[in-house]
Amino acid sequence: MGEEHWFETTVRVRYQETDQMQVVYHANYLVWFEVGRTELIRQLGFPYQRFESLGYMLPVQEARVYYKKPARYDDELIIRSKIVACEGVRLVFAYEVVRQRDGVLLVTGETHHVWTSLELKPVRLEKKEPELYALLKKYES
Amino acid sequence: MGEEHWFETTVRVRYQETDQMQVVYHANYLVWFEVGRTELIRQLGFPYQRFESLGYMLPVQEARVYYKKPARYDDELIIRSKIVACEGVRLVFAYEVVRQRDGVLLVTGETHHVWTSLELKPVRLEKKEPELYALLKKYES
Amino acid sequence: MGEEHWFETTVRVRYQETDQMQVVYHANYLVWFEVGRTELIRQLGFPYQRFESLGYMLPVQEARVYYKKPARYDDELIIRSKIVACEGVRLVFAYEVVRQRDGVLLVTGETHHVWTSLELKPVRLEKKEPELYALLKKYES
Amino acid sequence: MGEEHWFETTVRVRYQETDQMQVVYHANYLVWFEVGRTELIRQLGFPYQRFESLGYMLPVQEARVYYKKPARYDDELIIRSKIVACEGVRLVFAYEVVRQRDGVLLVTGETHHVWTSLELKPVRLEKKEPELYALLKKYES
């Protein structure tokens, strides 16, 4: 069995991210997933804005979020991200959101992306940027 | 074949909802899904805040979003919502986001909810509020 | 005394816009002010995206918000906007947020803007687009 | 001349916080001001949620934001916060948002708050919590 390549970053819940149920509003996890994959890519040595300066974008095609327990105001959360598929025009990330103080898993999810040009046309990264593609492929797990 | 009970409402894309890709940021569709199910419930004659004043909440357990085409700033969008499952503690909604000017389907999705008390404990709505349950059940499609 | 040219539009408070104080999170009023000035400009017959397609933007230089009473989930709000200054590169709007069901004034504010090119350099609208400038000037009050 | 008690924290600009002008959407600075004052209060040894568990809230009465230069996606920003007035029911904070990589000042602002009960009635903190009041007063600058 291959090893898993999780990358981690942390966020602290902002007052703005709560709702009147006194927990985090559910859409914010998609924002934190984005923070997670941005940090994953940065930790690979390739800050996301370089994609856009090279003329590529990585829009979301599909997102799934599974809510187990609520996060609350001022909680420190660990956002864990990994690449689960890198093939052709597709890139798929999985995520876990863990409460730092007790390690409880709160939310999981995944997002599916397509490499595109700045005009949002699909692009085969493997042909255009083989080294970058190989780097991402290496961390697929 | 049974008829489908879609409920509709509209939103116009705000500048705040765009991102530097010059399209709508993907997490906003979850916010609009919430606007859609709120309007569905209102159109059934049962404004959502009445749930909370009765002591119930309806947190999201799972969300899925499928992005086909991007919405852009100032687009008028039709948010279509329907109840696809109402059983026991669960309520599931499906959604379609359609661009008003040309009827193009941009995004689809679904959200799964559980009826809970204000302390976020699951509640069997069928027992506690049989009339409300029957009303929701009637529009399941 | 000159007449006042208020323009109105409405928003309904979304669940996402509440916070754990169970009122609207304060930053959202800036988003609604933006909705208000967008509608003002649309009602003048000049949808905002035309500015950007002409090569102009209207970033915010200064914002002030005065919170009198809180808005709550599902409240219908009237956003009233007017042009209070249109001179040279500057455009200033004032706003009132009024609760629809009882006419209570909840929030007031203003935003100061500068006309710029797409590269964010100031632009003298009066020279570049005298008709548009004259139209805005006409509604200054 | 008294010394100034600035407290600092950092944020990194999220994709969600950008808009189609390809800069940070202006309302986000109010969210970061909140992050700044939360950290200020935490650094004083008094996490904000303790206010709410004691039965106090600190809603915003007035906010002013001055935008000098835009922040962009992935910028690291230093949020500097200080207490500029602590008197009776009022607490006023000032803020500076500085770009970390070159120290350029991007945005300044202030927020005015009132101490209230959980029902949003004004509360004289000096009488109810003299030690906490004295602590805040000590850092007024």
Prediction ipTM score: 0.94
Using one digit for the tens of pLDDT, what is the confidence trace for B31-89? 999 999 999 999 998 888 888 888 999 999 999 999 999 999 999 999 999 999 999 89
Task: Give the DSSP H/E element, type plus range, for residue C101.
Answer: none
Q: What is residue B1's predicted lDDT score, i.e. its pLDDT? A: 45
Q: How far apart are CA B109 and CA B92, in angstroms?
A: 11
* CA angle, residues C118, D20, B68, in degrees to nearest 5: 140
Q: What is residue D114's predicted lDDT score, i.e. its pLDDT? A: 96
Using one digit for the tens of pLDDT, what is the confidence trace for B16-47? 999 999 999 999 999 999 999 999 999 998 88
State mean pLDDT over B81-108.
Answer: 97
Q: What is residue B109's predicted lDDT score, i.e. its pLDDT? A: 98
Q: What is residue B4's predicted lDDT score, i.e. its pLDDT? A: 84
The CB density around residue D119, as the number of other CB atoms within 10 Å, is 7
From the number of C-beta atoms within 10 Å of its C-beta (0-12, 13-18, 19+), residue A53 rates as exposed
Percent pLDDT > 70 in chain B is 99
Percent pLDDT > 70 in chain C is 99
Q: What is residue D2's predicted lDDT score, i.e. its pLDDT? A: 56
Nearest residue to B77 via CA among B25, B21, B14: B14
Residue A59 has pLDDT above 70, yes or no: yes
A1 pLDDT tier (thresholds 50, 70, 90): very low
> C74 contacts in B (CB within 8 Å)?
38, 47-49
State mean pLDDT over C40-60.
Answer: 89
Give the closest-approach CA distance of B12 to chain A in angstroms: 19
* Residue entry with tokens 């709160």: A106
Q: Which of B100-104, B127-131, C108-112, D76-80 has the lowest mean pLDDT?
A: B127-131
> B30 contacts in A (CB within 8 Å)?
26-27, 30
* Residue entry with tokens 């529009």: B139
State mean pLDDT over C95-102.
Answer: 98
State mean pLDDT over C75-92.
Answer: 96
Using one digit for the tens of pLDDT, what is the confidence trace for D7-43? 999 999 999 999 999 999 999 999 999 999 999 999 9
Q: How far apart are CA B121 and CA B128, in angstroms?
A: 14
Mean pLDDT over all residues of chain D?
A: 94
Using one digit for the tens of pLDDT, what is the confidence trace for A71-130? 999 999 999 999 999 998 999 999 999 999 999 999 999 999 999 998 889 999 999 889
> A67 contacts in B (CB within 8 Å)?
59-63
In this complex, which chains have at least 3 CB pairs below 8 Å with chain C?
Answer: A, B, D
Instruction: For residue B32, report the phi and psi dihedrals to the nearest 5 degrees.
Output: -70, -35
> A22 contacts in C (CB within 8 Å)?
20, 22
Q: Which of C19, C74, C75, C102 is catalytic?
A: C19
Give the closest-approach CA distance of D2 to chain A in angstroms: 32
A2 pLDDT tier (thresholds 50, 70, 90): low
Read off the tokens for C26.
């304060």
State mean pLDDT over B101-110.
Answer: 98
Q: For residue B19, what is the nearest residue in chain A, using CA coordinates?
A: A59
Q: What is residue C48's predicted lDDT score, i.e. its pLDDT? A: 82
Q: Flag if D74 and A38 touch (Cβ within 8 Å).
A: yes
C2 pLDDT tier (thresholds 50, 70, 90): low
Q: How far apart are CA B132 and CA B136, in angstroms?
A: 6
Residue D73 has pLDDT above 60, yes or no: yes
Residue D1 has pLDDT above 50, yes or no: no
**B29 near C14, Cβ under 8 Å?**
no
Q: For residue C62, what is the nearest residue in chain D, using CA coordinates?
A: D66
State mean pLDDT over D55-77.
Answer: 96
**C69 near C106, Cβ under 8 Å?**
yes
Residue C51 has pLDDT above 60, yes or no: yes
**B19 near D21, Cβ under 8 Å?**
no
In this complex, which chains have at least 3 CB pairs below 8 Å with chain B?
Answer: A, C, D
pTM for the structure as a whole: 0.95
Domain range summary for chain B, segments of one domain joined by +: 7-138
Give the closest-approach CA distance of A16 to chain C in angstroms: 6
Taking domain A7-138, whether its CATH number is 3.10.129.10 is answered by yes
D46 pLDDT tier (thresholds 50, 70, 90): confident
State mean pLDDT over C23-51.
Answer: 93
